[in-house]
Structure 1
Amino acid sequence: MQKWFITCIIICLYASVFAQQHDPVSIRRQLVVALKSSETTDSLYKSLNAVKNKPALVTGYIATLQALKAVHAWNPFTKLKYLNKAEDTYRQAVAADPDNIEIRFMRFSVEHNVPGFLGFNKNLDADRKAIINQLKKKNYTASDHEMILTVVKFLIDSKRCTAAENEYLNKLLASLK
């Protein structure tokens, strides 16, 4: 009986840790660390890749991690290989959930930061417009408040928005604070 009880506790703890690791807020925190840590990038990539029946958002996170693998790679050919994989994976994620602000934002931020001469900036305008459209529709939850603040600030700082879009984003930013 005691072995069964201990086994149940271990399974519950593992399930709890697994659920916490795959919760969007936790993943977002790990992605911030992954920006500077190839170990975190690899660990989170492996963890998310093991998820069965991946939702579109998890696919988007995987694409972001593929792009981060490009950042951490030293070989230029390896960098391009990871960027090509990321582009394909983002395409899948957007196709599965085209109105998801977070997926669009991840792709936008990667394309914004990749040098333009590499040609990985084909979706900047479409993603910017889709994000702003979803912001106007308030297509996000209250639990996404911090993420929405990040998205709005990034769009403003990117200098890729029109004057009218910047005006809207600045008003939205003031209302979110």
Structure 2
Amino acid sequence: MKLLFLLLTFFAALFTPPASHQPYAVPALRRQFHEAATDETAGRRFHQLMSQYTERDAVVLAYKAASEAIMAKHTGGLFDKMDRVKAASRQFDEAVSLAPQQPEVRFLRFSIESNLPGFLGASKHVDEDRAFLVKTALQHPKSGLDAEAFDVMRDFLIARNHVSPDEAQLLRRIAQ
């Protein structure tokens, strides 16, 4: 019986992809999010994957919310677009409530909300998230972000002029 259990465990380990190959592994989601933000086909593929996610990991939920917001770009009518933005907002609220101090969650919400047209009134957290992200980034490597996430966040904040020139200079000096 023990031998059977050991064999089953061994074969299960052989056929289980490593965490980095799991569909909801954060490094994979980062890459897919980046592609989805610039390519409609990738956006639809990313949304399809994320719409199947039913767990409650705050970071993955934030990527799910981001996928919903990205689909608003590719939806036909104004009401459909607004429904997508509202759904994304609700999902971001859930993700932030699960992990309010998780920088990647706050960064994803910020990256989406800061790109929404102002007339939608859906960018309620931009100032709060920007302040949180700058403070967090300036604490790196004790920021709670891995090197890849930190680079993405720092580059986004600087390239999109979401930080002052002094803050940009400080952020550029931080090494991984």
TM bucket normalised to smaller: 0.7 to 0.9
Structure 2: gaps spanning 5 or more residues: 1-6
Distance 1:80 1:98, change over 3 A: same
1:29 corresponds to 2:34: no
Query: What residue number does 1:89 align with?
Result: 91
Query: Which residue identity lines up with residue 46 of structure 1 in the other structure?
Result: S
Structure 1: gaps spanning 5 or more residues: none
1:122 corresponds to 2:121: no
Query: What residue number does 1:79 align with?
Result: 81
Query: What residue number does 1:45 align with?
Result: 50
1:140 corresponds to 2:117: no
List, as ranges, runs of 4+ consecutive aligned residues in structure 1 with deviation greater than 4 Å: 5-8
SS in 1 for 2:114: helix
Q: How many residues align?
A: 169
SS in 2 for 1:99: coil
Q: Take 1:176 and 1:159, find their aligned partners in 2: how far apart are those partners?
A: 20
Could you tell me whether the CA contact under 8 Å between 2:71 and 2:84 is conserved in 1? yes
Q: Take 1:160 and 1:148, find their aligned partners in 2: how far apart are those partners?
A: 15
Q: Take 1:39 and 1:160, find their aligned partners in 2: how far apart are those partners?
A: 28
Distance apart, 1:132 and its partner CA: 1.4
Q: Take 1:86 and 1:33, find their aligned partners in 2: how far apart are those partners?
A: 18
SS in 2 for 1:137: coil
Could you tell me whether the CA contact under 8 Å between 1:56 and 1:93 is conserved in 2? yes
